[in-house]
């Protein structure tokens, strides 16, 4: 049954009668039913159009499905409420974003090459939850028909451990090394000027260390829905840029982070620390994408009811990167990375009630944007904030 066009995987689906026949056929394979029911992981069997014709008990428990009818005929992304599953009328697998989905790619590979395939799969749901899976797809023939056995293993904890080991602990160790080194030199300082300079360096490194630990704690709390906000009224957009460029000089002394000349100020209510973290990650992302001698431009300006922050660099993101840039653990920089842009979206939209997006082109480079509502009544509710200090 044709469902329209697609930007990646085939769009067609089985007729209801064909789907029922496939389901009944697979159900007759008693050994399959027995084996998959004793496996604790979710196991699906898909037909040639990637539709579910069989689901074990683990799938139904995970989804809270009372009967097979709630599962049969749907595709994996539709079961998991992936944000891209309903972008096109043909459903899961047919949007441009699906071209980078490990689950869809594994299934298509198993179908075309008739070999088992495993790929990492990152899914953001319509509720905002971010999942990381290892997707396995393997061809399965029965009664003259071809199917795919498909299963997912949750690897979120593994990915979070990699972030701690590869990035967080590395950054913390570097800052501790700086503190210890400056403290040793402080003990040998011979004049007041040198003593003052070293003490200031220790203070800066200590503040950055506390901010790094706080950022990691906030990320974990935000993902669990436990993050409270400490709201401050009368925050100035230009003051936030001044804080940002000052932090950038300390972190990246070899890269020029410069405020745009055309900035305009605005005042609003926000969690200052969380907003700084979003903007800092935007600058960090821009610096890492820059070449020696490049300039990173930061700016802000008011629009009707909104304050807009921008961070620009000369780099260009290829399309395959654009499609994945806000997914948790996606990075072009290796293992243990990929939470910076993800946290921009999480903090900026779910907690600060703004919007985070980007534009990129070879001609104009890449600009990340954060818009924030200027009226606090439109931004926060009692359930998302607590008074400062609590």
Instruction: Give the pLDDT confidence score for residue 286 in this predicted structure.
Output: 94
Mean pLDDT of 131-139: 94
Same domain, 197 and 180: yes
Same domain, 343 and 314: yes
311, 367 Cβ separation under 8 angstroms: yes
Same domain, 126 and 50: yes
For the cut 50, the answer to whether the pLDDT of residue 323 exceeds it is yes
With a pLDDT cut of 90, the percent of the chain lying above it is 53
Query: Does 5 fall in a domain?
Result: no
For the cut 60, the answer to whether the pLDDT of residue 309 exceeds it is yes
Instruction: Give the pLDDT confidence score for residue 30 in this predicted structure.
Output: 67
pLDDT digits (tens, 9 = 90+) for 242-256: 999 998 888 888 899
Instruction: Give the pLDDT confidence score for residue 91 in this predicted structure.
Output: 95
More confident residue, 142 or 151: 151
In this structure, what CATH number is given to the domain that contains residue 64?
3.30.450.20
Does residue 338 come out as left (phi exceeding 0), alpha (psi in the -120 to 50 range) or beta?
left
Burial 22-46 (b: 16+ CB within 10 A, else e): bbebbeebeebeeebeeeeebbbbb
For the cut 80, the answer to whether the pLDDT of residue 29 exceeds it is no
Confidence class for position 322, pLDDT limits 50, 70, 90: very high
Distance CA 348, CA 43 (A): 36
Q: Which of 197, 223, 249 is the C-terminal boundary of a domain?
A: 223
Same domain, 343 and 199: no
> In this structure, how many other beta carbons lie within 10 angstroms of the beta carbon of residue 232?
14
Query: Which of 234, 373, 216, 225 lies closest to 281 in space, CA to CA?
Result: 216
For the cut 70, the answer to whether the pLDDT of residue 371 exceeds it is yes
Mean of the per-residue pLDDT values of the chain:
87
Query: Does 85 fall in a domain?
Result: yes
Domain hosting 82: range is 16-154
Same domain, 57 and 72: yes
pLDDT digits (tens, 9 = 90+) for 84-98: 998 999 999 999 999
Query: Does 7 fall in a domain?
Result: no
Confidence class for position 278, pLDDT limits 50, 70, 90: very high
Same domain, 187 and 141: no
Instruction: Give the pLDDT confidence score for residue 376 in this predicted structure.
Output: 62
Strands 295-303 and 145-154: unpaired
More confident residue, 242 or 164: 242
Confidence class for position 40, pLDDT limits 50, 70, 90: confident
Instruction: Give the pLDDT confidence score for residue 236 in this predicted structure.
Output: 96
Instruction: Give the pLDDT confidence score for residue 266 in this predicted structure.
Output: 96
Distance CA 102, CA 84 (A): 13
Query: Does 9 fall in a domain?
Result: no
For the cut 50, the answer to whether the pLDDT of residue 387 exceeds it is no
With a pLDDT cut of 70, the percent of the chain lying above it is 90
140, 151 Cβ separation under 8 angstroms: no
Instruction: Give the pLDDT confidence score for residue 178 in this predicted structure.
Output: 84
Q: Is the pTM of this model over 0.85?
A: no
Instruction: Give the pLDDT confidence score for residue 217 in this predicted structure.
Output: 84
Instruction: Give the pLDDT confidence score for residue 384 in this predicted structure.
Output: 43
Specify which residues 304 forms β-bridges with.
none
For the cut 90, the answer to whether the pLDDT of residue 72 exceeds it is yes
Q: Which of 198, 223, 248 is the C-terminal boundary of a domain?
A: 223
């Amino acid at each position: 049954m044709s469902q329209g066009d697609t930007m990646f995987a085939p769009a067609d689906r089985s007729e209801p009668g064909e789907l029922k026949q496939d389901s009944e056929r697979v159900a007759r394979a008693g050994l399959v039913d027995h084996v998959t029911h004793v496996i604790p992981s979710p196991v699906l069997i898909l037909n040639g159009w990637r539709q579910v014709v069989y689901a074990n008990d683990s799938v139904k428990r995970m989804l809270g499905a009372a009967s097979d009818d709630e599962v049969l005929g749907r595709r994996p992304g539709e079961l998991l409420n992936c944000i891209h599953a309903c972008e096109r009328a043909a459903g899961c697998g047919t949007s441009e974003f699906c071209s980078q989905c490990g689950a869809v790619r594994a299934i298509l590979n198993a179908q075309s090459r008739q070999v088992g395939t495993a790929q990492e799969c990152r899914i953001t749901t319509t509720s905002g939850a971010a999942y990381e899976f290892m997707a396995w797809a393997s061809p399965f023939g029965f009664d003259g028909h071809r199917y795919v056995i498909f299963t997912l293993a949750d690897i979120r904890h593994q990915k979070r451990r990699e972030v701690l080991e590869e990035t967080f602990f590395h950054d913390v160790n570097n800052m501790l090394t700086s503190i210890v080194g400056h403290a040793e030199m402080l003990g040998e300082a011979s004049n007041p000027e040198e003593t003052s300079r070293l003490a200031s360096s220790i203070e800066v490194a200590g503040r950055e260390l506390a901010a790094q630990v706080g950022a990691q704690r906030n990320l974990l709390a935000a993902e669990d829905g436990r993050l409270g906000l400490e709201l401050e009224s009368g925050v100035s957009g230009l003051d936030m840029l001044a804080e940002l460029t000052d932090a950038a000089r300390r972190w990246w002394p070899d890269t020029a982070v410069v405020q745009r000349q055309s900035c305009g100020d605005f005042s609003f209510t926000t969690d200052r620390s969380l907003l700084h973290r979003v903007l800092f990650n935007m600058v960090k992302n821009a610096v890492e994408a820059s070449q020696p001698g490049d300039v990173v431009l930061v700016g802000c300006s008011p629009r009707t009811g909104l304050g807009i922050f921008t961070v620009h660099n000369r780099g260009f993101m290829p399309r395959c990167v654009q499609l994945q840039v806000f997914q948790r653990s996606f990075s072009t920089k290796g293992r243990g990375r990929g939470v910076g842009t993800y946290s921009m979206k999480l903090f900026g939209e779910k907690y600060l009630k703004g919007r985070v997006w980007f534009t990129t082109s070879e001609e104009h480079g890449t600009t990340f944007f954060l818009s924030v509502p200027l009226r606090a009544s439109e931004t926060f509710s009692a359930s998302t904030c607590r008074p400062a200090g609590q």
